[in-house]
Amino acid sequence: MKRGILVLADLKITIGSEVFQNPIWVASGTFGYGTEAPELVDVNRLGAIVTKSITRKPREGNPPPRIVETPSGMINSIGLANIGVKKYIQDMLPIYENLTTKIIVNIAGTDVQEYVEIMEMMESVSSVIAGYEINISCPNVKKGGMEFGVDCDMTAKLTEKLRILTERLLIMKLSPNVSDIVSIGLSAENAGADAVSAINTVVGMSIDAESGSSNIFTTYGGLSGPAIKPVGLAMVHKLYNKLSIPIIGMGGIVNTDDVVEYMMAGSTAVQVGTANYRDPGIGEDIIDSLDSFINQTNRKSATDLIGSVRTLS
């Protein structure tokens, strides 16, 4: 049996020129390419699917162990394993023709040229994708990734280059592993980004006391799940206070209250990540209960929540 499909409240949100049927998206790296969801999950109900990061060449990622459970979360060091842009275009884009949900392609690269080439290849073929999320915040690769997202000039330069190449949505995905996320966000905004998304994973480490060994091959990995929700909320709120473009919030979302809190902090949309590993249908459940929340609290639409938190000082 499919999950519930009765949606009454106005859950629509707009980012740039794109209208999304609801603000609940699934996060990069936690929902594959959007084509592998189990039978019982109706992906067309999601606001959007963000694909795992695509690189120019196929990547096997880091050696195992590359995932470990931690208190209220997990650490991963997948290292951007993916099939590469050529095969992605060949195999995945045709499947999207049959989907009605919006597809956001997440791109990663080791230098500006790699990001540019991937986007040029994507733009050279006709496809139904709604936009791009640019991963400038991956903590699990030696070169590129987070290098861009911790530096204002590099963020601006990359955003500018990509902006010229596409009229589709351009979303820059920010790292929490910085001292000042707002200045990185402003660099993206001033260089033409339509939105920023935050947060990627928080650098973390896990050790086995008995063996004395690291639990992750690369020593450090990216912490995700409920453990990082307070970090994500603070970063979204700081960005909301200073940026004019929409913010897509994420980090530890597992239920509707989490979504409401992220929207109150300033998110226009949110992404559900690690929670998909426990239940790939969680996005649908959250859509249904967000609908009830909006109705029960006498709000007209989901957009009423955005930035509505009452701070005490």
Contact residues for ligand FMN, defined by CB under 6 A: 27-30, 52-53, 76, 78, 80, 106, 135, 138, 173, 200-201, 224-225, 228, 250-253, 272-274
Complex with ligand FMN: residue 185 or 252, whichever CB lies closer: 252
Question: Are the CB atoms for 129 and 96 separated by under 8 Å?
Answer: yes
What six digits make up the tokens of 254? Answer: 């597992």
Q: How far is the CB of 289 from ligand FMN (least distance, A)?
A: 17
Residue of 24, 37, 118, 138 marked catalytic: 138
Question: Are the CB atoms for 159 and 127 separated by under 8 Å?
Answer: no
Complex with ligand FMN: residue 9 or 290, whichever CB lies closer: 290
SS3 at position 237 = helix
> What residues does 205 pair with on adjacent strands?
220
138 catalytic, yes or no? yes
d(CA 227, CA 213): 23
Complex with ligand FMN: residue 32 or 304, whichever CB lies closer: 32
**Cα 121 vs. chain centroid, distance in angstroms?**
22
Which residue number places its CB atom closest to ligand FMN?
Answer: 29
| Closest-CA residue to 21 (of 8, 30, 29, 12) | 12
Q: How far is the CB of 97 from ligand FMN (least distance, A)?
A: 24
Q: Is the dihedral of CA 129, 177, 24, 224 positive or negative?
A: positive
Q: How far is the CB of 109 from ligand FMN (least distance, A)?
A: 12
Q: How far is the CB of 73 from ligand FMN (least distance, A)?
A: 7
Complex with ligand FMN: residue 9 or 194, whichever CB lies closer: 194
Beta carbons within 10 angstroms of residue 114's beta carbon:
18
Active site residues: 138
